[in-house]
Each structure stands twice: as structure tokens, then as C-alpha cells.
């Protein structure tokens, strides 16, 4: 999330037309088009965050500024030349890094929370013990994972929570 990815289209000479057909998982379809014979661009139902990277007659790449979960979906570019049609399709999935918090509950139990990640994070504890991870799904596709840790040793008061996620791994330690 927050990055500005660029989706590359087939770069061909003697382009007649270029069309980006975008079908997001949320909301209606959108198209960006370019006709070389009129040197004309057109857009239908596309948000301002989606546009040509530069001029479509030079480079038909699509840039999505500040990508978010709402941008997920299928993106198909079709370049038309006198030599044929050249389609390229992307399936855009957006990763959302979870927010990691670690705290002690009122009973001296270590609690690790990986909030609103996409996909769900994996939560592990350094040094053995019993943990009980629970997942809570949110309507926007993100998932919060909550794990409580009880140490094998009653004298152990320090614990480290490690969160594994495709957008980056994190760890925190706390003494309860």
C-alpha cells in the first residue's frame, strides 16, 4: 500500500491503438484508451490515481499512484499494431503490512497483536511456550492476528514476538 506501481505494456512500433481494461475487485470497470490516428486519449470511469506513466505514444505503461486495497483486480493492456494484437494481463494484489503491538494483560500474560495485515501475518514466540493465535477478519480483506503467550517456565518474564509477513518481518520484546 502507498507505493506507485507501474504496469508495463508491450512496447511495439507502428501502434494503432492502446487500451487498458481495468476490472477492480471493488467498484466498476475502467478503461484508458489511446488512438494513434487522432493522437487522442480517453478515459472512462477511472480514478485520478490511475493514468498513463508518460505519453501513451511513447510508452503505454500505466501508473497507479498511492495504491490501496481498492486497486486490486485485473489489469489488461492491449496494444494494436498492423502486425496484430498484443495483450498483457496483470492480477494486482496489494500487501498491507500489519501494525505490531506487544503488551501485557492484567494477568501477566504476553499478548502480541499483528493488526490489519493482508494477508494474515504469522505470529511466533521466541523460546518455547503455549500460544493461542486467533484471527479476526475485517471487511476490507485485512486480518488481525492476536496471540497470547504463556511461558513453560514460571520464572520467565521476558518474551519476544516475531511477526512474519510478505511485506516485511518484525519483532518486539516485552517483560511482564
Q: Which domains does the chain have, with CATH numbers?
A: 6-92 (2.60.40.10), 99-175 (2.60.40.10)
Convert the pLDDT of each residue in 91-144 to its tens digit: 999 999 999 999 998 888 899 999 999 999 999 998 766 787 999 999 889 999
Convert the pLDDT of each residue in 21-50 to its tens digit: 999 988 899 999 999 999 999 999 999 999
Residue with cell 480517453: 42
CA distances from 150 to 85, 123, 133, 158 (A): 61, 14, 12, 11
Question: What's the whole-number average pLDDT of the chain?
Answer: 92
pTM of the model: 0.80
Report how far residue 11's alpha carbon sits from residue 91's, in angstroms, rounded to the nearest whole number: 20
What pLDDT is attached to residue 147?
95
What pLDDT is attached to residue 151?
67
Report how far residue 133's alpha carbon sits from residue 124's, in angstroms, rounded to the nearest whole number: 9
What pLDDT is attached to residue 158?
86
Residue 141 in contact with residue 70, Cβ under 8 Å?
A: no
Amino acid at each position: 500500500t502507498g507505493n506507485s506501481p507501474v504496469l508495463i505494456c508491450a512496447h511495439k512500433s507502428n501502434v494503432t491503438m492502446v487500451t487498458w481494461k481495468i476490472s477492480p475487485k471493488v467498484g466498476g470497470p475502467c478503461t484508458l484508451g489511446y488512438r494513434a490516428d487522432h493522437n487522442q486519449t480517453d478515459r472512462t470511469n477511472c480514478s485520478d490515481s490511475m493514468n498513463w506513466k508518460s505519453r501513451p505514444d511513447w510508452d503505454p505503461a500505466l501508473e497507479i499512484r498511492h495504491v490501496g486495497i481498492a486497486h486490486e483486480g485485473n489489469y489488461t493492456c492491449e496494444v494494436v499494431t498492423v502486425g496484430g494484437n498484443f495483450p498483457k494481463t496483470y492480477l494486482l494484489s496489494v500487501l498491507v503490512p500489519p501494525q505490531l503491538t506487544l503488551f501485557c494483560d492484567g494477568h501477566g500474560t504476553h499478548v502480541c497483536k499483528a493488526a490489519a495485515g493482508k494477508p494474515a501475518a504469522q505470529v511466533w514466540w521466541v523460546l518455547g511456550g503455549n500460544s493461542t493465535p486467533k484471527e479476526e477478519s475485517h471487511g476490507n480483506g485485512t486480518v488481525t492476528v492476536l496471540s497470547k503467550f504463556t511461558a513453560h517456565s514460571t520464572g520467565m518474564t521476558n518474551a519476544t514476538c516475531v511477526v512474519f509477513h510478505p511485506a516485511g518481518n518484525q519483532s518486539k520484546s516485552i517483560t511482564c
